[in-house]
Structure 1
């Protein structure tokens, strides 16, 4: 088969895998309509491409060949779906029936599949292969045999040291993961399902722990990490370990991970092509006096050994395969076409694990590498007036960023503003640290004591790198929310990038194309700030969070605790492209302190609070006082009971945050026209609720009495329950809409 035909078949297979995005991943049961749509599209697409090529007088293969291309694409989609994980008949998630809650106390026995790692709340997490589960017996005599994987978290105070491969018996709460109820929140349920996991375990106590396994990659990795930590201390030693072995190999603190992410250097902490290039350079340098065959054997052995140390993540697998291709080409004295080797690596990896097509690490790795291959040459031509070393420092991060940025904005809605300058400035330092770390790790592997002594040379470079990034991350506008980039806009930008790469006409007008792409990102934000009027009720454990958007003026009512700020509020604000809040009303001064600790980039003009000490940038609000922001009016109606009203456009709201069973409602809370009542807490007085005469009732509570729901239905009051409906949004045109999921969709 010719190289061109092999390329077409590989692209057809990858296209078939991408076509499964029509029904989303992970989705083990696509509908018949979805299958028919994908099959028709994949069946026709190759012939459309052939017709298009003929219009440009390109010689094309026969129709029989294009039929084969269609079959490959369709088989790719079928193969992908065949590999999508599904819970087996005796999967541990099956112990939940439709009538049970999402949480059940159990005792689980199984085998630890991964090295325990720190969670954001200073616990430990690991994957567990479940073997037995006991629901209620004290002597575990009723234990049932089960299968499947569990996502396990345990308190860090547990004294036992855990290792991959150990058997363990642990008690705790088994739970069903829930899909997100708020826009922008992380879909934990989908993430676990993509890993073949359908339940989690919140461990409380370890009952039994088996012997430490005789073998494991951690046994080779741990002496290196310990040597670095002893020589440099923490966090410098752990950071160097991550820069050499990847973040999967060590427990980096949340602060260090966030620091590198916010400055656009997250790739430095992941074992990738950068590390493999450095390793190959060191190996070829050390073996330059050996024969090509000996270099090949040593090089391939070193690459796969390094892959084992770092863990076989998509990015390192891609780099190892491409590095192997380079070594083979050098041995047989043939020039390797890097773009072909990238496609070959992608095809081989996706044949082995087709689900990686939706792995973000896989996508970023191939996009950045593709960008380096096709974009660095034209960039270097335009930078030929600079010394080659400086031009390379600029071209490498710029080329990678151009191709990764659209996907990054689509997934995270956040832009690290100084990413490219930071990469340019720190590149020489990071390269020197990484090379020194690799040499030190080789010494530590042989002699940990000697390694801990040698690595001390790297203390000040690593320390300086951390301090430099801390300065950059505190610069004004270092982290900017651009809002959710739509799938269509992202794909259009990639189409433009491909046209600039392939078409001379687009290459001549690349500046206009770049401005057009930038407009696709920026103009929706500007339009939203000028026109959007929206109220969003975000579901939270205790009290909900109200976000009011009034033509660029943004106000918040309630912040909640640190967890709510980090996992509920900030993701939503990022998705909405909000970088400034004009007013925040809180009911606890601790919320202000939590906000200032957690929030990385969003500024607040003024905080208002009803109780507690007045802090800097805050103002105490008394009963009856009104906050006016644009056309938004927010009033603290009363402190006892705590009532807050707000009005936007023609819609009025009243928020009841305490039980008003025996308390008298203030007169101003009665007879409010077009009223929506929002309440939180365990209960609400039905009598008082009816007295308010609302058009809409919204509850943020774990339980709603049946009597309340029936009475609201009888009186034709629209009722929403954030626990079931998720976040509730209101706009003048659409009225009230739900953005979350229903309870039925949470069932397996």
Structure 2
């Protein structure tokens, strides 16, 4: 929590602490914990202040890298396209890295490696642009800006948090290709392998919504998703399955545990090695999905969960969750503001805290009913944890989420396992083509049932508006209600009702 508070302060007030000030604070911290290690509150206060300062410095330093000295005048720049160009309705979007400013055929000392969003007109010439192309462009670089509407989305801050210093529009005839950089980063290699997997799906006969949904479910490629299928999944309350994250990694984790557990039960000494193999497989899967931030987060969480399985205590606790968030925010503090990061951790925290209490309310003897009851309690707990954020970001609440999850979660697991088996059949092309029709039928059935849920009466409540204080009050009410549920007293019930009244 102090690290999170520090990151928030660093985002709101960047460049507060310099590196030398942070070093001085670190030395003071070492002195305090050495001098007052037996004084609990002094030691605790020093740790909290140090972690808060660390978060503030990390965030302000990261934001400081995006500061660019804009001149406001057109100039000629040398840039390199870092990702595959993205086709928009009226333009071609290229994510470019600035290599320098050109004056009299020489590259001056312009700040390098700042990232910009460059928009090109859609024509036959820009259609040939590829990742790695080096260009000379004549344009005017501008900082990210909002439209100035009340309560609008803060697009400028969003771009800065994504690592972009500004935007530019390159008119027709105001650019020229000068070369090509064939070198690739690890992330670019991962994206290329993801594109190969999608190409394999296409060669196997997948198309339209089936291709789009399968690509999103298995490798996180959402470029093929149409507006209609996105709206179907949104209204029915199944949008979370299109974003490759903890749900999908959890299915793979469960599959690997099912395969490897009998081995370490027979040979106990192999358990650390088998868990390491499990983690390596998850990392490989993350690589084939393009190393997206949501998948990396989930792989880190399940890797810690796997190694926590070496101890006898319950492995998945709030400490495991907090350790994952702490390590990830130390590596990249801007992840705190990512919607997927917030939804993932709020969902898992709610499942860890609330689901066991709900599950204990009804003792079920029948195995099938016990599975359904467990699935329902997990869905309700996750919905409680994420509903305030979903309403805040998307102004929508899907009322049939329980029915949707009872259908879509088993189907997604079936589709995911079938897709893994489909990829394993690559050495057998004939069998692979036959099995591809089975996978295509599974995805088609999943989509059709969600379309039916979408058209049920009252499938979603739209235009719900909450500000950040409303979200905090809702979570305060949920927290007080959970606190009162653990031990029902008049005081706790009053606190929960006061929080609800404040909402």
Bin the TM-score by the shorter chain: 0.7 to 0.9
**Mapped partners of 2:61, 2:358: distance in 1:** 41
Quickly say closer, same or farther: Cα 1:350–1:373, change in 2 above 3 A: same
TM-superposed CA distance for 1:399, in Å, is 0.8
Task: Give the 3 Å change call, closer, same or farther, for CA 211–80 of structure 1 in structure 2.
Answer: closer
| Distance of aligned partners of 1:330 and 1:12 in 2 relative to their CA distance in 1, 3 Å threshold | same
Asked if residue 307 in structure 1 is aligned to residue 286 in structure 2, the reply is: yes
Aligned to 2:225: 252
Name which of 276, 280, 293 aligns with 1:297: 276
Distance 1:331 1:302, change over 3 A: same
Q: How far apart in 2 are the matches of 1:195 and 1:389?
A: 40
Q: Please give the residue correspondences for 1:162-177 in structure 2 after superposition, counting only pairs within 5 Å.
A: 162-163=130-131, 165-170=132-137, 174-177=141-144
1:458 corresponding residue in structure 2: 439
Question: Does the CA-based 8 Å contact 2:191-2:290 persist in structure 1?
Answer: no
Conservation of the 8 A alpha-carbon contact between 2:476 and 2:499: no
Partner of 2:420: 438
Tell me the distance in 1 between the aligned counterparts of 2:299 and 2:313.
19
Contact kept, 8 Å, 1:26 with 1:193, in 2: the verdict is no
Summarize the Cα distance change of 1:332–1:28 in structure 2 as closer, same or farther, 3 Å threshold.
closer
The CA distance in 2 between the partners of 1:264 and 1:179, in whole Å, is 30
The answer to whether the Cα contact below 8 Å between 1:28 and 1:84 also exists between their aligned partners in 2 is no
* Shift in Å, 1:240: 0.4
Following superposition, the deviation at residue 404 of structure 1 comes to: 1.0
Equivalent-residue separation in structure 1 for 2:127 and 2:432 (angstroms): 28
Paired residues, number: 464
Q: Distance in 2 between matches of 1:506 and 1:377?
A: 15
C-alpha spacing 1:28/1:298, structure 2 compared with 1 (3 Å): same
Q: Distance in 2 between matches of 1:495 and 1:359?
A: 21
Cα separation, partners in 2 of 1:154 and 1:441, compared to 1, 3 Å? farther
Q: Distance in 1 between matches of 2:241 and 2:392?
A: 21
Question: For residues 135-174 of structure 1, what are the structure 2 equivalents within 5 Å?
Answer: 141=105, 144=108, 145-147=110-112, 148-155=114-121, 157=123, 158-160=126-128, 162-163=130-131, 165-170=132-137, 174=141
Conservation of the 8 A alpha-carbon contact between 2:193 and 2:290: no
Secondary structure of residue in 1 paired with 2:150: coil
- Confirm or deny that 1:327 pairs with 2:306: yes
Residue 199 of structure 1 is aligned with which of 133, 153, 166? 166
What is the Cα deviation at residue 174 of structure 1?
Answer: 4.0
Equivalent in the alignment of 1:496: 477
Alignment of 1:697-712 (within 5 A): none
Measured against aligned partners, the alpha-carbon deviations of 1:386-445 in whole angstroms (never above 9, x if no partner) come to 81111122112211110111122233332233333322232222221122123324445x
- 2:97 maps to 129
Summarize the Cα distance change of 1:505–1:253 in structure 2 as closer, same or farther, 3 Å threshold. closer
Matches within 5 A, 1:707-718: none
Cα displacement string for residues 307-345 of structure 1 (whole angstroms, at most 9, x for unaligned residues): 222244443233222222232234466642432111110
Asked if 1 retains the 8 angstrom alpha-carbon contact of 2:473 and 2:500, the reply is no
Please give the secondary structure, in 1, of the residue aligned with 2:64: coil
Q: What secondary structure does 1:292 align onto? A: helix
The within-5 A match list for 1:443-592 is: 443-444=425-426, 451=432, 453-504=434-485
SS at 2:363's partner residue? coil
Q: Do the aligned partners of 2:78 and 2:99 also contact (CA within 8 Å) in 1?
A: yes
User: Does the alignment pair 1:416 with 2:402?
Assistant: no
1:264-297 CA-to-partner distances (Å, cap 9, x unmatched) read 2222122211111111222233444363233123
- Offset at residue 170 of structure 1 (A): 4.9
Q: Is the 8 A contact 1:417 1:477 kept in 2?
A: yes
The alpha-carbon deviation at position 363 of structure 1 amounts to: 1.0
Structure 2 residue 3 is the aligned partner of structure 1 residue 17: no
Matched, 1:96 2:67: no
- 2:57 alignment counterpart: 79
CA 61–116 in structure 1, closer or farther in 2 if over 3 Å, else same: farther
C-alpha distance after superposition, 1:574-602 (max 9, x if no partner)? xxxxxxxxxxxxxxxxxxxxxxxxxxxxx
Per the TM alignment, residue 465 of structure 1 is displaced from its structure 2 partner at its CA by: 2.2
Structure 2 counterpart of 1:113? 82
Unpaired segments of 5 or more residues in structure 2? 18-24, 26-37, 265-269
The question of 1:70 aligning with 2:48 is answered yes
CA distance in 2: counterparts of 1:228 and 1:259, whole angstroms? 22
Partners of 2:433 and 2:130 lie apart in 1 by 24
Q: Which of 181, 186, 193 is residue 148 of structure 2 equivalent to?
A: 181
1:340 aligns with 2:319: yes
Alpha-carbon distance in 1 for matches of 2:440, 2:313: 42
Q: Secondary structure at the match of 2:413?
A: helix
* Inter-partner Cα distance in structure 2 for 1:493 and 1:513: 13
Shift of 1:15: 3.7
Which of 213, 218, 243 is 2:191 aligned to?
218
1-side partners of 2:313 and 2:501: how far apart?
A: 44
Residue 376 of structure 1 and its aligned partner are, at CA, apart by 0.9
**8 Å CA contact 2:477, 2:497 repeated in 1:** no
Matches of 1:242 and 1:122 in 2, distance apart? 25
Which consecutive unaligned segments of at least 5 residues does structure 1 have? 1-10, 32-38, 40-59, 522-748
Question: Residues 70 and 332 from structure 1, CA distance in 2 versus in 1: closer, same or farther, beyond 3 angstroms?
Answer: closer
Structure 2 length-normalised TM: 0.80
- Pair 1:304–1:84, CA change in 2 (3 A): same
Q: What is the deviation of 1:173? A: 6.0
Q: Distance in 1 between matches of 2:101 and 2:380?
A: 52
Q: CA deviation at 1:122?
A: 6.6
Quick one: which of 204, 208, 226 aligns to 1:234?
Answer: 208
Q: Give the structure 1 partner of residue 32 of structure 2.
A: none
Structure with bigger strand share is: 1
Matched-pair contact (CA < 8 Å) for 1:155–1:204: yes
How far off its partner does 1:488 sit?
A: 2.6
Specify whether residues 378 and 67 from structure 1 end up closer, same or farther in structure 2 by C-alpha distance, changes over 3 A only: same
Relative distance call for 1:16 and 1:258 in structure 2 (3 A) is same
Deviations 1:432-466 (A, max 9, x none): 1122123324445x678865553321112212222
Secondary structure of the residue aligned to 2:127 is: coil
- Residues 167, 210 of structure 1: 8 Å contact kept: yes
- Report matched runs for 1:671-690 at 5 Å: none
